[in-house]
Amino acid sequence: MKRTLLRLLGGTDRPDWPEDDTLGDRLRTRPGPAIRWAAVLLGLLAVQIGMLLGWIAGFLPAGPVADALGSIPAAISHETVPNRGYFHPEHGWVGTFMGLSPAWAWALRTGLVYLYAATVTYWVWVGYLLFRRVYRAADWTPRDDVVDRLRGHTWGLFGGVVVFAFLVYALFAPVVSPTDITQNLYDPFAHEITHFDEEAGEVRSVFIGDANIGSQSGAQEGIGPMQYDPYDRFHPFGTMDRGQDLFTFMAYGARISLFIGVVAIGLSVVISGGLAVLSAYYKGLLDLGVVLGSDSVQAMPQLLVIILLSVVFADTWLAGLYDGGFLLALIFGLTGWPSLWRAVRGPALQVADREWVDAARSMGQRPTRTMRRHMAPYLTGYLLVYASMSLGGVIIGVAGLSFLGLGVTSPTPEWGRAVDAGQPYVATASWHISLVPGVLVVLVVTAFNALGDAIRDAIDPESDTGASQEGAMATGGGG
């Protein structure tokens, strides 16, 4: 399959590139395969561009620009594959896609979403192979072995599959959710649904808020996973204590957790990586200052600091960005960088003592260029390992804060808030309210840790034996 695609793209042979050619020179010399690959990728992205622009519109103030972005359609959506309808004794299911039951219509739409995401991911992988086959000057680099070891890491593949499912669940939350989050959670009494009233023998309308009240899960009874409520709405994970759809709540909660985790880890990586390179290059007082700063931050209990800062900045404009998610991301990033810095400080010191760094200094190369070109690439692998492991920690930390009633602004969905809402019903018929979110938290955090283990083993195959990490440094900067 891959060979056929590469042949169609015109990427079956590698020209004899001059050693001084840059990637831009190679693309200009042979643009055909890259243009064909990029055209297909743009076509795939255009299929769901409406969903992406709708998400961006959510960050913009209300107005014509936000309305215009939010009105752009997507190929896979609630409108194209609807699952909201009702059952009529004479006509069957009404309002659903091709008359399917809401469960099958929802499953079809969700399956299409995951198939679409898998196709885009696979095409990106084809692009990487095209780069290796055509546009890379070398036939082989140490990074090839890293990729091969990663592909053969069973535990890492498990983590990668779960992380992929989590990312799709979060990014495509508006599409995979069986209901609309605004109608179901934020403003349920401003929207109506239709259903067939068996007692009256006719189709009636009811406010979603009233329907939620009639579909609540509680101590005595509840709508469990894979069940319908009295209004013919399908709930893959069941309903919550106030009747909201748990699957929709978890999908948008995953989006919040992903946003906080990515921003926090990205900030930590920038701070820790930058300080590691600077302190390793200059050493002396600068290194001592960073050590003291790191120790000072780590000396404070992170959870208490996060709670304190969340309360202090609760009424500021930062707390209003993304329902408080941006503030949490900043706090996690500014309090979590010392652990990442300590993880990469040793490799940074080792790289700073290498011959090529000394040669660059003796030739009068600017320190910033030396750090960027000859030191930073060798820390990438280490940062990837610890960042992937730390991301799971941020997710479980945010869930813990929400469980305590802190974190993102209520009623914004968050996994920890769902666990807290279901805590009184653990031993009742509504056990699913807390159990499902709890299982997902454990599964996702474990998956990120598994992926981090796989990246570590792929970069440094001797890491389990405690051998030297020279190989990891060599592969970190492979071109």
Tokens of 463: 């890491």
Q: pLDDT grade, residue 440 (50/70/90)?
A: very high
Measured from the Cβ of residue 423, the count of other Cβ atoms closer than 10 Å reads: 12
Measured from the Cβ of residue 177, the count of other Cβ atoms closer than 10 Å reads: 24
Checking if the pLDDT of 468 tops 50, the result is no
Residue 383, SS3 per DSSP: helix
Lowest-pLDDT range, 144-148, 268-272, 460-464? 460-464
Checking if the pLDDT of 222 tops 90, the result is no
For residues 92 and 101, give the distance between their C-alpha atoms in angstroms, rounded to a whole number.
9
Domain ranges of the chain: 2-136, 191-239, 247-476
Q: pLDDT grade, residue 380 (50/70/90)?
A: confident
Checking if the pLDDT of 474 tops 70, the result is no
Tokens of 264: 């926090």
Tokens of 197: 């009233």
Lowest-pLDDT range, 63-77, 257-271, 407-421? 63-77
- Could you tell me what percentage of the chain is helix, strand and coil, using 3-state DSSP and rounding each to the nearest 5? 70, 5, 25
Q: Give pLDDT tens digits for 173-198.
A: 999 999 999 899 999 999 999 999 88
Q: What is the pLDDT of residue 462?
A: 66
According to CATH, the topology of domain 247-476 is MetI-like fold (1.10.3720)
For residues 201 and 400, give the distance between their C-alpha atoms in angstroms, rounded to a whole number.
47
For residues 287 and 361, give the distance between their C-alpha atoms in angstroms, rounded to a whole number.
19
The residue assigned the tokens 């243009």 is: 35
The mean pLDDT value of the chain amounts to 88
Residue 423, SS3 per DSSP: helix
HSE-up (13 A, CA, CB side) for residue 54: 15
Q: Give pLDDT tens digits for 320-357.
A: 887 888 999 999 999 999 989 988 988 899 888 888 88
Q: What is the pLDDT of residue 463?
A: 59
Q: What is the pLDDT of residue 59?
A: 67
Q: Give pLDDT tens digits for 13-40.
A: 778 888 778 888 889 999 999 999 999 9
Name which residue leads in pLDDT, 475 or 414: 414
CA distances (Å), origin 146, targets 120, 155, 156, 227, 269: 22, 15, 13, 45, 21
Q: What is the pLDDT of residue 291?
A: 92
